[in-house]
Structure formats: C-alpha cells, structure tokens
Amino acid sequence: MYVTISNEHKDQAFYEQTTETISHLRPIRAACGKHVFREGDKVDRIYVVVSGAVKLTRLLEDGRRQIIAFGFPGDMVGFPSHGRHHTDCEALTTVQLEPYQFSSLESGTGDPVLHKAFVQAALREIAAMQDHFVMLGRKSASEKVASFLETMAQRLGEPVGNYRQFPLSMSRADIADFLGLTTETVSRTISLFRKSQVIALDGAHTVVVLRPDALHAIANRDRG
Amino acid sequence: MYVTISNEHKDQAFYEQTTETISHLRPIRAACGKHVFREGDKVDRIYVVVSGAVKLTRLLEDGRRQIIAFGFPGDMVGFPSHGRHHTDCEALTTVQLEPYQFSSLESGTGDPVLHKAFVQAALREIAAMQDHFVMLGRKSASEKVASFLETMAQRLGEPVGNYRQFPLSMSRADIADFLGLTTETVSRTISLFRKSQVIALDGAHTVVVLRPDALHAIANRDRG
DNA sequence: CGTCTCGTTGAACCCCATCAAAGCCGGTGG
DNA sequence: CCACCGGCTTTGATGGGGTTCAACGAGACG
C-alpha cells in the first residue's frame, strides 16, 4: 500500500515483457540525491524503477514538504498531468530506471501489451493513493509509523535468522514528510517500538521486525 | 484540486463526445443517501457524474472514515483496482450518472477517443490526489477548510450580486472526513471565517464568499 | 407542534509540534 | 590512524492546535 505501484509482483510481467518489446531506451542511472525529474518538467517518458529507490515530493511555497510516494523496484513513476510532471523525483540511493516513451503509452498507438500495463499501473497507483489518504487523514502517529514499517517489511523484507529485515534507505525526515509528521515524532515512535521489542535496529537504517503480529496490531488498532 | 477529476472543463469534451459514441448504457439515477457502488464490488462500469454529487469513502474497521473525493458534474468515478471497487460511492443529493462499460475502456479495444479520455481522466485523478496529499499531511485546520471552500467556490460557485455563492451539499461530518478533521473543528473554523467576514452563510449549506483574496491567503499561508 | 438529526458552542485534555541540546556516525584532512 | 567536523538521529521539556466530551440550538419533517 501507499507505494507507487503494488506489492504483488504478478506484474513483474510488465517489466519482463516490455524490456523485450521496446527497449529502444537505455536504462538510466541517477546517483543518490540527484533529481530524475522536477515538478513542471515536460513529460516525454515515464520510468520503471529497476534497482534502488526514489522519492516523489511536492513542496508548499513556505517550504513545507509532502512526500507523495517512494518508488522501489517494479514501481512505475512519473505519471504526468497535462503533459507535465506534478512532483519532483529524487534518488534516495543510486538508482537504475527503465524509461518508456510516454507518447506511445498514452495514446495506445504503440504496443498494446505495454499500453495495458501502463493503464493497470495507473489504476493501481490510484488505489494505493486512496489507502494512503486514510493513513494521512485518520491514523495516529503510532499507527502511521507501524503501517509504514509493515509495508516496507512486506515490500523489501528478507528473512534473516527467524526474523524479517529490511533497509530504510530514506532519512527520518523523509519518513516524516511521507506520513505527515515531524522527524522527532518519527524518531520517538521508532524508539518506542524498539524499546517494546517490536522491532530492532541495526544502525539507524536497518530494521529487524521481531514481532510482526504486534506491529500489525499497532498499525490497525492503536490510538496512542 | 482534490476533486475527483479536474476544475478545467476543457474535457467536457469527454462527456460530449462519448455520449454520442456509445450511449448504449442509459444514465442512472440514485437518490440522496443511496449507494452507487460499494468497496469490493466487481467493476463492470465506471461513471461520469452528470448532475448532483457523490462521495467516495473508505472505512477503517473501527469506524473511522476517510472521504477520498467528492464527485461533481464532469467527474469520473469508480476507477477499479484489480477489477474491484476500492471505495464506497454514495449519493449526496439525487444524482444522475452516465455509466460506461469498463472492459472496453480498459483494454483499448473500444472507441479510441473514449479510451484516451479514460486514460486522461485517470491521470488527472492521480494529479488531484497528489495535491490532496499535501493538504492532508501538511496543512492546518484553517488552511484545510479555506482550501476546501476555495476549491468548491471555483468548482460550483455562481455569481450572486457582487459575490460568488455555492451550495455545500455535504454535511459537516463529510467535510471533516474529507479533510482529516472532526465535525467540531470544521464547524468552529467555518464560524471563524463567518465572524471575520471572509464568508457568509445562508443556512448551513449555502456559502457566499465575501473576500476571496482573504480566503486564498488563509488557504495558503496561515498557521492557525 | 413535537421530534430528531445536524450544527454550533464551550471546557478540558492530550497528542504531537516546537524548541533545544546532546549523541552518533561517516567523511575528510592532517 | 586519529581528531575534527557537519549532518542526521535521538532524547528532553514545553506549549498549543485539535480532539474529545458535553450540552445547547436550529432547521427539517411529519
């Protein structure tokens, strides 16, 4: 949820099929901290994340920031509005992106398989954003952070011993701007989870989920 | 902003063109309070609002509710995820909806003009939701309510004397669930605007914008 | 005219933001 | 290799914006 595309990698099919169909466009790389595109840029291509991670952000004039989504491998990013990008896209790590010519995707004049995958990706994006609405509008800080960690674990987690572990490639400030909180609250909440043995940290950017059930309970019920 | 489709009715073209192209499906009506569809329903058609208004809602198990969007004339509602509706859709007033067979829209096998309009609507939906994220995540109560009133005025406002006036067809609770606030806060904030002569009310459900500039200022700068 | 739902207003509390400062880590250069 | 530096993270103390609980008012409808 609230990830650009879906957790279900059935649609890995998208990437596999399409690289064969029209990979006229070479994969691109962006170093950590670099922008892939910026709000207002004309959209001639959209991207599928191959490796690494990106963040999609929107700014208010006064500097307040909202992160719309993170993009992980398999996610499609860069859906345009009126031919323009509507967010900034910045690399969280060194990232590889597979570009697709947008005009052919949009019009349906190009490869129909590719086109359908594009439409499906857009529809999944809408659904994911709807879930994120509920989180931003109606969940407490604990619920938000727990939901976020749970999603990340599902998305990026790998078994290590008896537990699942995953990297948090983004900063606390990024998490805060994604969840509509402050860095301090995010940090405090994560510390709380650590102290109550729900998760463990290895450095600030590697999380081990010790009690997935507890995490899930906090994500969906708690009010503190 | 944060309306299902767009304020720009250039794409009124969609409705006009398509009613001629395949109006095999008759417009449907729903009375105030009735559901058009529910979360989980199989999607075989999506709708364009012709007259009246609907709300799209998502529920948490414990009863907390988030309104994803309101649908006004010209808006397309019912984008599916994995073939299912992902929100409830309920009529706020008596509403007329123009249904479109979804299968033909999705696959691109049907009318290409219609298909392209569908894709454009989905992309606008994504952009609108991105704006709403900023509001839910980063704006204060006053900013939220002012932004909402401003958008409604742009969308539904009609000149009355020297001012613009519009109907608030939804309840205070609906507005609260849309903005991520409580009914009390919405009511208090609206009262504040009324007392400071930014707006006037005629009953609880008709708003007159007295000072659009002030409303805009509150929507974008204020921190109270 | 009575009832009922919705809206408004008041008072108290609490979660989270804000302000502040101390760790911690990675990087850099001596 | 180590000491210093700068940014990020963590933790603490305090205050405020919005929720919560509660009661009153007002319009809608029979």
- β-strand partners of A51: A96
Nucleotides of C under 7 A from a protein CB: 6-11, 15-20, 25-26
Classify residue A202 as exposed, middle or buried by CB count within 10 Å of its CB (0-12, 13-18, 19+).
exposed
The pLDDT value given to residue B170: 98
Cβ–Cβ under 8 Å, residues B111 and B18: yes
Q: Span B57-61, mean pLDDT?
A: 94
3-state secondary structure of B89: strand
For strand D, which residues in window 159-188 of chain A come within 7 Å by CB? 171-173, 183-184, 186-188
Instruction: Write out pLDDT tens, residues B180-218.
Output: 999 999 999 999 999 999 999 999 999 999 999 999 999
**B72 close to A (CB below 8 A):** no
Find which nucleotide's C1' atom is closest to B204's CA. C7
Tell me if B126 and A126 make a contact (CB, 8 A cut-off).
yes
**B134 close to A (CB below 8 A):** yes
Q: Which fold has domain A7-137?
A: Jelly Rolls (2.60.120)
Q: Span A14-24, mean pLDDT?
A: 47
The pLDDT value given to residue A110: 73
Find and give the residue nearest to C5, measured CA to C1'. B171
Give the residue with greater pLDDT, B24 vs A48: A48
**B65 close to A (CB below 8 A):** yes
**At A188, phi and psi to the nearest 5?**
-60, -45
What percentage of residues in chain A have a pLDDT greater than 90? 78
The residue behind tokens 């994911």 is: A128
CATH 1.10.3720.10 fits B140-219, yes or no: no
Query: Which B residues in the span 147-206 are in contact with A, Cβ-Cβ below 8 Å?
Result: 177, 179-180
Tell me if A60 and B134 make a contact (CB, 8 A cut-off).
yes
How far apart, in whole angstroms, are the C-alpha atoms of residue A90 and residue A47?
Answer: 13
Q: Span B65-75, mean pLDDT?
A: 97
Q: Give the 3-state DSSP-derived string for chain A, with helices as H, strands as E and coil as C.
A: CCCCCCCCHHHHHHHHHHHHHCCCCCCEEECCCCEEECCCCECCEEEEEEECCEEEEEECCCCCEEEEEEECCCCEECCCECCECCCEEEECCCEEEEEEEHHHHHHCCCCHHHHHHHHHHHHHHHHHHHHHHHHHHHCCHHHHHHHHHHHHHHHHCEEECCEEEEECCCCHHHHHHHHCCCHHHHHHHHHHHHHCCCEEECCCCEEEECCHHHHHHHHHCCCC
Q: Is the entire prediction scored with pTM above 0.85? A: yes
What percentage of residues in chain B have a pLDDT greater than 90? 78
User: Which residue among A106, A130, A180 places its CB closest to the CB of B58?
Assistant: A130
With beta carbons under 8 A apart, name residues in chain A contacting B117.
none
Instruction: Write out pLDDT tens, residues A73-96.
Output: 999 999 999 999 999 999 999 999
- β-strand partners of A206: A167
Q: Could you give the count of Cα atoms lying within 13 Å of A141 in the half-sphere of its Cβ?
A: 16
Q: Where are the domains of chain B?
A: 7-137, 140-219
The pLDDT value given to residue A57: 98
